[in-house]
Structure 1
Amino acid sequence: MLPYVAYKYVKNKREATRREMETTLDSLTSHLSRSMIPDQVVLRISGVSAKFAEDSEEYVSGTLTIVEKAVGVFIEWFPCEDHNARYAPDTSGWVLAEDGGETQTLHSPSGSPDRTSGDHMNKLAFSIDVNDLSSFRNVEPKKGQGYPCIRLICKDGTSYVPLYFTTESTVNFIDVLQRYITLRRSAREPNLVLVVDGKAEALAQSVIALGQNDDVLSRFMKNPYAAALTGFGKITSFMQEQMIPALLDSDEVSQEEQIRAMRELSQREDDAAKLRINTDATSEFELVTQLELPPRPDIYRESPVTQEIWDKFKMPDGTVDPQNIHHLKMNVFRGGLNPDLRKEAWKYLLGYRAWDETNAQFEKKRSKLAKEYERLKAQWISITEDQESRFFSYSKRKGLVEKDVARTDRSMPFFSGDENPNLAMLQNILMTYVMYNFDLGYVQGMSDFASPLIYVMGNEVDAFWCFVELMKKIQRNFEKDQAAIKLQMYQLRDLVMIVNPQLANYLGKFFFSLGFLEGHQSDDMYFCFRWVLVWFKRELSFADTCKLWEVLWTGQPCPNFLLLVCVAILDSQMNTIIDNKFGLTEILKHVNDLSMHLVLDDVMTAAEAIFHQLSASQDKLPAHICEYLNLGEAAS
């Protein structure tokens, strides 16, 4: 006979085993039952198109469905089976699956399938659980000016390809979607539709009805990502090859690694100027004093400067009258340059050719610089493998160059193919710059600046010396202490505080909750690191990159116009970030997903409008803001 205690132990153990077996059996039964339930397509819309590439007007037609599956409800889009079906969006109607109507697929002209394009189109396909959906943008264009568009945004910050509908399609998609989730249009941005948690909404209304401080609710419903992120440890060392790759290569480095780099950077001693902000000593978060700014003016982009217009500013000997330089730069700022003019104009804008330099003087200088280039190039070409094995600093720089050359702009025909001579030109220029400026050497990201110069100039000598002049403007971005980048992050943070204090406060509160060091007010701007480091090269098409850079090279209307471009983009994304309650991981994802989805002309007009808005308020602005923008007495 078992003692009572032993009896209870054995009995409890048997009960636990029995319950475990019952739970396992129930789980298996439930799984088998679910697996036997067929998928039910609730809505099918044909002719819903996605752009084949962001910088083209070529579309891929596909089918959008809402599907009830055993594991949940999913929104799915797949391209049509014919991988050659690329055209403008289809205008066929929508059909509910219950109607049993057959949908028709349009086909492109006959031709053999392109495996590469087919693979790319398959990558556009997606399947999203509706419970993972955070919001979506629903843009209804003016009549006759395009197609309605929806872009889905998930809770983790991922944005999917925009989908272009026929006129009557979006309404029915949204109606069916509302069977499964609660939707609410953003109060701040009409085009943004939010997915609402019904229970959370009810709780919020209850708290408001009780007159409670909404801080209680915000703490109670705190973003679960914050707790996880605060556990990241310090990185033991911080160097160029750690931080820059982490924040530059978003496709190759996880968000966690990017966050680690940001945290480490915030912990390092910085010599950059501190922000001058108003703080409330009774609050754990910084508060921004909001200025009353005038409305932003309407700004329009102008036509690009043509060869004919350019020549009107030049004298017959190639010089430009000093009194006309500002006017010429403003023309470039407002419209950019015709592509066929860039080879000549970029030399002036970069300082490779002086504005007061005659044709004869420039040719004489160019001849001398060509010899200097060949001398520098010969220095590294003559290094033998045996010498290189004992020359670690050189070998390390060479390895970095070769790694970047192999992946810079390879999707462009100009740089595609393993035996492409333009790749050799890129390698030659970067290696020669290593010898020209060995102290700096080579840092990842420099190849992003060199490739457009090679494309435009078409020869090594001019491209190299233009690269030298460009590096004089941006060299400090690549220095080891990263002081220049930190300073620009401080300045960007300052500008956001003035232009959009609501967004500044949101970012400040969230980053404080993540444990970033107090007093590092630039911390919440490091998700813009890539924008500033390579001047939006990774965010824009090659053509748009050239257009933006030549605008920035004018130095108009202020030297820090790049930061105003950043502010304009952040300002446009405020509602998406705040209404979706994005945390750091989601913000990083969302910012990275903006790549190749920015409309450059809209961004530049918004940035210029912000400049004029601030310029009109310079008597109210803090002195350091005026200094950033070269306004008033700060400019003298």
Structure 2
Amino acid sequence: TEEGESSLTEITFTSSFRLFPLQLIFEKEGVYLHTNAKRSNQDTSIPGFIRIVERAGVPALEWSPLEDDGRNAPAVLFSKKDGDGGEEDTSFDPGYEPDWAVISTVKKERNTEQSSFSLTGHWAFSLPLSELYSLRRSRFSLGRNFLVLTSRGGHPLPPLHFHRGGTRELLRALHRYIILDPSPLDGRLFLAYPQDSGAQSFDRLQFLDDGGNDLVSRFIHDPYATTFGGFSKVTNFFRAALRPPESPVHSRTPQDPSLPPQSDDEPGFELITCGVELGPRPDVTRGPPLDKWEEFLDSEGRVTCPEKIKELVFRGGITPSLRKEAWKFLLGFYPWNSTAMEREDILQVKTDEYFRMKVQWKSVSEEQEMRNSLLRGYRSLIERDVNRTDRHNTFFSGNDNPGLTLLHDVLMTYCMYNFDLGYVQGMSDLLSPILFITQNEVESFWCLTGFMELVHQNFEESQEAMKQQLLQLSVLLKALDPELCDFLDSQDSGSLCFCFRWLLIWFKREFSFEDILTLWEVLWTRLPCENFHLLIACSILQSQRGELIGSDHDFNTILKHINELTMKLDLQSVLRGAEAICLQLLQCKELPVMVKQVLGLYVPSSSEEASPDSQASETQRLLSQSQEGAAASNSARGPTHP
């Protein structure tokens, strides 16, 4: 394609179909393709034709722009070797930063090996119907439909927007060659099968342009698996749930050749609610920060009611003068039930252990390090990141600042503590607030190890934990705001990759330094549910829905808009929104299983699943805990002795 017009992979052209005549089966004008054009003066909405054609008896679905009638264009195949990457968007230069640091550089990679998906120049495409895997239809509040098609290789085509209607006619024409079998769990998602596969007839799809009574709209769950770099791929359906008891069921097993291929390394499928009545979102108030500490200690210095402290911290944070002490408990440096004397012993043991590890890297000679590329790489990354971490803060500003030396030494020692993980860009962002509060090398190190216990998987090379969190975020957002999800899907942003930085370093770059101190101590309480940080991300996204939906944002401008939220978000408003979302979900009587799993309400064991009674009691426990937390912030702040 021409420079700046496509983010898809490079294509190799052949002309295997050039000599075969084209037979036009179906044609519809007014079908727009929304691109991710780099240059701001380019039109990102391209009008065109959608067609079903036969070339040499092979039916295919084709789209071509209005300026090219496309009827005599050859079907152009492309392939890509493993390891080839897509073109990287560099529409604005953030300066030297790691890949995640500025949410504006996202590679669009497609593994297209063994795919029959076809492209022609200027965004046109051709897909043999035998290669069509799934079709998803969505609608905006403005009434326009769009379709997302996915090939059997798992490659989504750019969303097709039907500005003048016509999806019903297209689907009827497709039914001449294939059967579109609806998911029982999402009325908008259909699998494509050959005509002889035994799937049910098109008459039962109820797939109307006007969004009428969809047969499957009553279903609660929505299977929607997404990979980090693209649109959805559905990997499992319980198709029998759609049919009445007397209807024959055509079973498909993983060995059935009529099933679309499934990759063992896919992260699986996620169930996302569709049409669940969540009920009203309650109003939430925040409380004052924890401002007393000694009153919560008994005569031996033991914390008598850690749960109450956590509730107060969740509700209002911690007053600055108490952070140095309270953080050491929240991050596991001191056990909650330890006495003052025991804590003195712990500090001595931890100090000795820290300096033993520090000596290990300090004693490595330059000659030794030249033969240790891993340690040399860790040191290089640390030195580079230390010089640009929170330099606006007086504790780290200026040249030859002792704070920078401490930052460097603690990170190098962590490499000795966890050499398999070592140092990964972003870890300096986690340490700097801790070091600022403790202003102590040993205490900051062990608090960092406690923090890393919560987030170390974020930094693993496979990025599986980050992919899983993005999937979980999709689960929650789909339950809370399906329309916003549809919009993001339509702009190739359904992967939520622009949230990567948020989740990686817990919003460190999104809020002011002082706000991050409050946000992190709130998150360290692990209240009011698991994965509360994902609800914070949902709160931010929903606060921006008015700016996104109904605008002309495309993939690039969505990334740019999210990136420019940095330092513009109100923390207290975001926290109130996240807690209100949590309460809204907890109060839902028909909360889908996948949402419960994300919130920690339902985790079935390998041998048995939790009973409905146990699920209900766990939901009620968390709901009561959150509601009682609000009351605790206004209660007397003295200790409650057992």
TM-score, normalization: structure 2? 0.57
Aligned counterpart for 2:100 among listed residues 236, 248, 252: 248
Q: Distance in 2 between matches of 1:361 and 1:531?
A: 37
Change (3 A) 1:423 1:279: farther
Deviation at 1:413, TM superposition (A): 1.3
Which stretch of the first structure deviates more once superposed, 571-580 or 598-607? Answer: 571-580
1:259 aligns with 2:107: yes
Q: Distance in 1 between matches of 2:331 and 2:45?
A: 43
Deviation at 1:506, TM superposition (A): 1.5
User: What SS does the corresponding residue of 1:305 show, helix, strand or coil?
Assistant: coil
Q: Distance in 2 between matches of 1:460 and 1:364?
A: 17
Change (3 A) 1:279 1:488: farther
1:236 aligns with 2:83: yes
Aligned counterpart for 1:360 among listed residues 341, 356, 359: 341
The aligned counterpart of 2:518 is 547
Please tell me the residue identity of whatever aligns with 2:595.
I
User: Following superposition of structure 1 onto structure 2, how do residues 61-140 of structure 1 map, counting pairs within 5 Å?
Assistant: none
Conserved 8 A contact 1:247-1:530? no
Deviation at 1:602, TM superposition (A): 0.2
1:296 aligns with 2:289: no
The aligned counterpart of 2:464 is 483
The aligned counterpart of 1:311 is 294
Change (3 A) 1:279 1:423: farther
Q: Distance in 2 between matches of 1:402 and 1:262?
A: 35
User: Following superposition of structure 1 onto structure 2, how do residues 589-628 of structure 1 map, counting pairs within 5 Å?
Assistant: 589-617=560-588, 619-628=589-598
Change (3 A) 1:551 1:263: farther
Conserved 8 A contact 1:235-1:260? no
Q: Distance in 2 between matches of 1:600 and 1:232?
A: 47
1:631 aligns with 2:616: no
Deviation at 1:249, TM superposition (A): 2.3
The aligned counterpart of 1:341 is 322
Conserved 8 A contact 2:34-2:45? no
Change (3 A) 1:224 1:268: closer
**Count, aligned residues:** 392
Conserved 8 A contact 2:273-2:592? no
The aligned counterpart of 1:225 is 37
Aligned counterpart for 1:577 among listed residues 548, 551, 556: 548
The aligned counterpart of 2:452 is 471
Q: Alpha-carbon deviations, 1:557-605, whole Å to 9, x = none?
A: 0121000000011111112111213221111101100000000000000
Q: Distance in 1 between matches of 2:402 and 2:184?
A: 51
Please tell me the residue identity of whatever aligns with 2:102.
S
1:280 aligns with 2:155: no
When Rg is computed on C-alpha atoms for both structures, the one with the higher figure is 1
The aligned counterpart of 2:473 is 492
Conserved 8 A contact 1:288-1:505? no
Q: Distance in 1 between matches of 2:303 and 2:461?
A: 38
The aligned counterpart of 1:320 is 303
Change (3 A) 1:631 1:527: same
Deviation at 1:382, TM superposition (A): 0.7
Q: What percent of counterpart residues are identical? A: 39
Aligned counterpart for 1:462 among listed residues 443, 466, 471: 443
Q: Distance in 2 between matches of 1:232 and 1:540?
A: 43
Q: Alpha-carbon deviations, 1:201-241, whole Å to 9, x = none?
A: xxxxxxxxxxxxxx976x33735639989999899379xxx
Change (3 A) 1:603 1:314: same
Please tell me the residue identity of whatever aligns with 1:301.
R
User: What SS does the corresponding residue of 1:280 show, helix, strand or coil?
Assistant: strand
Please tell me the residue identity of whatever aligns with 1:298.
D
C-alpha RMSD of the superposition: 3.4
Deviation at 1:326, TM superposition (A): 1.9
Q: Alpha-carbon deviations, 1:99-138, whole Å to 9, x = none?
A: xxxxxxxxxxxxxxxxxxxxxxxxxxxxxxxxxxxxxxxx
Q: Distance in 1 between matches of 2:81 and 2:101?
A: 21
The aligned counterpart of 1:29 is none
Deviation at 1:533, TM superposition (A): 0.2
Please tell me the residue identity of whatever aligns with 2:473.
L
Deviation at 1:248, TM superposition (A): 1.9
Q: Distance in 2 between matches of 1:347 and 1:483?
A: 29
User: What SS does the corresponding residue of 1:579 show, helix, strand or coil?
Assistant: coil
The aligned counterpart of 1:424 is 405
Q: Distance in 1 between matches of 2:583 and 2:107?
A: 35
Please tell me the residue identity of whatever aligns with 2:485.
A
Change (3 A) 1:233 1:250: farther
Deviation at 1:540, TM superposition (A): 0.7
Conserved 8 A contact 2:331-2:451? yes
Q: Distance in 2 between matches of 1:483 and 1:220?
A: 35
Deviation at 1:325, TM superposition (A): 2.1
Q: Distance in 2 between matches of 1:543 and 1:409?
A: 12
Q: Distance in 1 between matches of 2:99 and 2:454?
A: 21
Conserved 8 A contact 1:246-1:261? no
Q: Distance in 2 between matches of 1:601 and 1:529?
A: 22
Please tell me the residue identity of whatever aligns with 2:458.
N
The aligned counterpart of 1:451 is 432
1:508 aligns with 2:508: no
Deviation at 1:295, TM superposition (A): 1.1
Conserved 8 A contact 1:303-1:336? yes
